[in-house]
Amino acid sequence: MEFRILAGRFAEIEATDADLEIQDEVADLFRDASELSTVVRFLLGRVFPAHDSRTLDVGPQLCHEAIARVAGPNVSAADVEDRLAEHGDVGEVAASYDLGGQQGLGAFTDGDSDALTVAELDATLRELAAASGDGSRETKLDLLFGLFNRCDTVQARYLSRLVLSELRIGVGEGTVRDAIADAFDAPVASVERALQVSNDYGLVAERTRDGGAAALDEMTLEVGRPVQVMLAQTGTVTDALDDWPEVAVEWKFDGARVQAHYDGDEVRLFSRNMEDVTAPLPEVVDALSAALDAPAILDGEVVAVDESGDPRPFQAVLRRFRRKHDVAKARENVKLEFHVFDCLHADGEDLLERPLVGRHDRLAALLESEELVSRLRLSDEPEEIASIEQQALDAGHEGIMLKNPESAYTPGNRGQNWLKRKPDVETLDCVVTGAEWGEGRRANLLGTFELSVRDGDGGFESIGKVATGITDEELEELTDLLEPHVRTETGTAVDIEPAVVFEVGYEEIQSSPTYGSGYALRFPRFLGVRDDKNPGDADSRERVERLHS
């Protein structure tokens, strides 16, 4: 296929507004394209598939210089930049020059062998990407010049945008997926699954064309070919408990995502954007090599820790990622831990569709290392979840992740199955107006404190109860503090005169008929006693109303 034809199709697609029409045009293009995988990648604005971290490494300046050179002896890179300041789009700038004079004879005859083909363009761009070291700038410039020199204005428009990774003709990944299904008559779900396991739109398009749905269903993960990571949304404990009978709770580590691939011989590590980060992280490689004895694809977070093992800010990890030289020295300065929380593949078997808990069991069996495997706990108790969160925070980590224990691993998907617990909104200062005596070992301690806010008339209205976030030691202190204010006792319930103010965190305020204020706090947690506040300084129902709305 000539690049001239492809650029023309790009121009048609770019000029189309309606999504469905775009999808039809893209599907037609796929049916017609001989170098299908290259066409698919170009259409998505890339030269390499997503799992391949190679880049062209062509900056705007280099591209402008190449355009200037082709545009003629009187044009400089500065002129190109002036036009860019005016147009704002490098494609328009490239197309605004009269490049026709420099074209080979092929420009004048249809289908002449001198015409730039898609395959040739792809090969040259790969050559350009491979140029490195001394003189590579000149090599890249020469190669780009050679390409632009064979372009008409339409081709130059798309070539310039392609090399600068700003193709943007209005075709997203979803459209490409649907167009592949449409062009070759395969179910969208099969195409989607194949994209998830291969992370390669070009490959999936060709497989669909050549073998239909059956060929797609045969596609599997490949050790060494990184996939998109599964993503999380923010959510609350109450959401999680509303949706799932039990929640899989895990610490949330503040570091950098790493996907580890072990082929039985070698470990390779990839960052979230598929960059190979094996060389800068030798201790992670060593730990995994020692622990693994079967091929695997693992997902986890690399965290930097200080001398005493406490986590350091995630920037410290990123510094290690970027380190190319003196890795040994960097390793001395910034210590790393790897917390593996998922297993996508084990010993020849893809596990994506297994429930989370099954994958985690497999992970634990595979690694047999408490140091490496993150701890996953199942709970349906808000209090227990809060205490796991408190442990995570006490250990210096970010908080907790809440996961659906039954969920599959869906690469690239930011679904509802992984929730990072939403940080608390503004805290409230509430007056303690009641409590309950504990049971068993805690029979002499007050717990489960009733919280109230000012009603505006000098009284107090209840807004809920707090029992979480309080250590045993704090329970003793709170009992000493509150006991003198107990007014009446009925069974284990005590009525307390308003005297002590608690600062409480919570996930959300919801309206509720259960409490006098008409509101309830979701997932309330004790944060501390406001010794500096009197009941008259506590928050009012009016503020709660404002926060709620």
Which residues in this chain contact ligand AMP in the complex, by CB under 6 A? 231-232, 250, 252-253, 257, 301, 341, 374, 401, 420
- How far apart (Å, rounded) are the C-alpha atoms in residues 90 and 82? 11
For residue 437 the two structure tokens come to 């005596």
Active site residue 252: yes
Which residue reads 């044009």 in tokens? 75
> From the CB of residue 210, how many other CB atoms can be counted at a distance below 10 Å?
10
- How far apart (Å, rounded) are the C-alpha atoms in residues 491 and 237? 31
The nearer residue to ligand AMP, 423 or 459, going by C-beta atoms, is 423
Q: Is 346 helix (H, G, I), strand (E, B) or coil?
A: strand
CB 345 within 8 A of CB 297: yes
- How far apart (Å, rounded) are the C-alpha atoms in residues 5 and 408? 42
Shortest distance (Å) from residue 255 CB to ligand AMP = 7
- How far apart (Å, rounded) are the C-alpha atoms in residues 363 and 285? 17
The nearer residue to ligand AMP, 366 or 388, going by C-beta atoms, is 388
For residue 548 the two structure tokens come to 């709620």
Shortest distance (Å) from residue 317 CB to ligand AMP = 11
Shortest distance (Å) from residue 254 CB to ligand AMP = 7
The nearer residue to ligand AMP, 178 or 398, going by C-beta atoms, is 398
Per DSSP, what are the bridge partners of residue 488? Answer: 495
The nearer residue to ligand AMP, 301 or 507, going by C-beta atoms, is 301
Per DSSP, what are the bridge partners of residue 464? Answer: 451
The nearer residue to ligand AMP, 358 or 498, going by C-beta atoms, is 358
The nearer residue to ligand AMP, 128 or 248, going by C-beta atoms, is 248
- How far apart (Å, rounded) are the C-alpha atoms in residues 407 and 381? 20
- How far apart (Å, rounded) are the C-alpha atoms in residues 8 and 146? 20
What are the DSSP calls for 188-234, one per residue?
HHHHHHHHHHH--HHHHHHHHHHHHHHHHHT----TTS--PPPEEEE
Shortest distance (Å) from residue 459 CB to ligand AMP = 42
- How far apart (Å, rounded) are the C-alpha atoms in residues 421 and 249? 10
Shortest distance (Å) from residue 103 CB to ligand AMP = 48
Q: In whole angstroms, what separates CA 417 from the centre of its chain?
A: 14
Cα torsion through 64, 66, 70, 76, rounded to 10:
50
Q: Helix 60-71 and helix 153-163: axis angle, to 10°?
A: 160
CB 407 within 8 A of CB 492: no
Shortest distance (Å) from residue 253 CB to ligand AMP = 4
**Strand 414-421, strand 231-235: pairing:** parallel
* Closest-CA residue to 229 (of 303, 299, 318, 317): 299
- How far apart (Å, rounded) are the C-alpha atoms in residues 412 and 422? 21
* Closest-CA residue to 155 (of 7, 35, 39, 9): 7
Shortest distance (Å) from residue 416 CB to ligand AMP = 14
Check 252, 329, 335, 533 and give the catalytic one: 252
Per DSSP, what are the bridge partners of residue 258? Answer: 271, 300
**Strand 247-252, strand 508-511: pairing:** unpaired
> Count of H helices and E strands in the chain?
20, 19
The nearer residue to ligand AMP, 190 or 374, going by C-beta atoms, is 374
For residue 58 the two structure tokens come to 């062509």
The nearer residue to ligand AMP, 409 or 460, going by C-beta atoms, is 409
- State which amino acid sits at residue 133: G
Shortest distance (Å) from residue 344 CB to ligand AMP = 13
The nearer residue to ligand AMP, 231 or 408, going by C-beta atoms, is 231
Shortest distance (Å) from residue 250 CB to ligand AMP = 4
Q: Which residue is nearest to ligand AMP (CB)?
A: 257
The nearer residue to ligand AMP, 87 or 420, going by C-beta atoms, is 420
Shortest distance (Å) from residue 72 CB to ligand AMP = 49
Residues annotated as part of the active site? 252
